[in-house]
């Protein structure tokens, strides 16, 4: 029998004045139980160790910091924070004239050292099983099991968009939805029928705003050289961005073989943000495209885009049964650009609540 049951039984047969101490003990137990149910995220408040990248792409580690090394003991009992603290150093190179920005090596992620042991830590309950929040200076603000390799669902489409734009094809060229673009793995619904035609730009908007799988598949099929050339380009892109824990099996994200980590998804989001088309399209609350010559209105799958108080500069949602609800987002907060990665949340509402909790926490940190 638990302490709670014992005390409640006692209360039922005891004068309330005599039972007051027991009642206080019960309340304390309930508070402890409630606290233990919340996943905890440790938020370092000091700038972590970073590395720099030279114009030639050589990574130079910074001198070791004097702070104490990260250990799981820094997390409370039942702590869910397993990922080592990492830093994403902004690249020091600039795009060469006529070169797509994504061809430049992306931000470098290196192991870091968190705040010294005496530095205060914040705890933020989030539903997502994997999370990373960083600013553009490379400071890790929040992390939760950020180095676990997990499915990323339609966050894949950020990579698809970058690879398509790298090819420098005519965005006004008409492409066609084919039978090969039909989802026979998850049997997901689609807003476009087989045989529908649209511009390459319209297909990109469908893929990024509405997360349309057939549009993403058609973009890959119409890559110069077809699907084999597209797959080779994706492999090269993964290598160019220095992603060692990312694998992409298809251009849509429907395959559970499309996997990455919260750490590497932050790098992908930072690289995608360097493409003006991706940043513009994915941060639109709504858009209108022509399919078969007729206008079609699109709504962003991230309902935070365009919402009051949110300044979102890049966004992509994702969902499959294996991946859960996912979000990659870059937003302005406290005068900084913040990258937020949420992987494997239990539902759309939970994903939105996580993002809102992070935003509120960031505002408190900025005001402190």
Q: What are the catalytic residues?
A: 154, 157, 211
Q: Give the other-Cβ count within 10 Å of 344's Cβ.
A: 22
Residues in Cβ contact with 229 at an 8 Å cutoff, skipping those fewer than 6 apart:
223
Query: Read out DSSP for 326-358?
Result: EEEEEEEETTEEEEEEEEEESSHHHHHHHHHHH
- Tokens 């990659």 -> residue: 328
Taken in order 165, 304, 258, 49, the sign of the CA dihedral is positive
Q: Are 323 and 152 in contact (CB under 8 A)?
A: yes
Q: Are 262 and 132 in contact (CB under 8 A)?
A: yes
C-alpha to C-alpha distances, 294 to 43, 199, 219, 289, 359, nearest whole angstrom: 49, 12, 20, 8, 39
Taken in order 291, 297, 300, 301, the sign of the CA dihedral is negative
Backbone angles phi, psi at 129, to 5 degrees: -80, -20
Q: E strand or H helix at 176, and its extent?
A: strand 174-176
Q: Give the other-Cβ count within 10 Å of 94's Cβ.
A: 10
């Amino acid at each position: 029998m638990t302490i709670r049951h014992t005390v409640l039984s006692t209360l039922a047969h005891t004068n309330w004045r005599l039972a007051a101490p027991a009642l206080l003990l019960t309340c304390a137990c309930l508070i402890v139980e409630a606290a233990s149910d919340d996943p905890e995220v440790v938020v370092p408040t000091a700038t972590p160790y970073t590395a720099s990248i030279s114009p030639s792409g050589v990574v130079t580690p910074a001198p070791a910091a004097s702070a104490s090394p990260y250990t799981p003991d820094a997390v409370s009992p039942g702590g869910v924070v397993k990922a080592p603290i990492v830093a994403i150093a902004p690249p020091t190179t600039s795009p060469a004239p006529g070169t797509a920005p994504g061809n430049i090596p992306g931000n470098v992620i290196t192991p870091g050292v968190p705040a010294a042991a005496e530095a205060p830590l914040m705890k933020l309950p989030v539903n997502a099983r994997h999370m990373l929040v960083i600013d553009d200076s490379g400071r890790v603000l929040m992390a939760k099991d950020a180095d676990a390799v997990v499915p990323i669902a339609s966050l894949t489409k950020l990579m698809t968009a970058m690879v398509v734009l790298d090819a420098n094809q005519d965005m006004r060229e008409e492409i066609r939805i084919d039978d090969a673009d039909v989802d026979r793995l998850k049997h997901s619904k689609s807003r476009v029928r087989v045989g529908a035609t649209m511009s390459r730009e319209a297909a990109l908007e469908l893929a990024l705003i509405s997360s349309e799988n057939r549009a993403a598949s058609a973009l890959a099929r119409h890559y110069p050289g077809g699907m084999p050339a597209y797959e080779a380009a994706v492999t090269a892109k993964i290598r160019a961005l220095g992603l060692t824990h990312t694998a992409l099996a298809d251009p849509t994200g429907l395959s559970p073989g499309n996997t990455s980590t919260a750490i590497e998804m932050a790098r992908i989001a930072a690289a995608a943000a360097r493409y003006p088309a991706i940043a513009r399209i994915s941060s639109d609350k709504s858009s209108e495209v022509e399919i078969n010559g007729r206008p079609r209105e699109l709504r962003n799958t991230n309902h935070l885009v365009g919402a009051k108080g949110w300044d979102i500069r890049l966004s992509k949602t994702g969902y499959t049964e294996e991946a859960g609800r996912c979000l990659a987002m870059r937003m302005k907060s406290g005068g900084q650009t913040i990258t937020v990665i949420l992987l494997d949340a239990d539902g759309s509402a939970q994903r939105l609540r996580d993002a809102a909790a992070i935003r509120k926490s960031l505002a408190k940190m900025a005001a402190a």
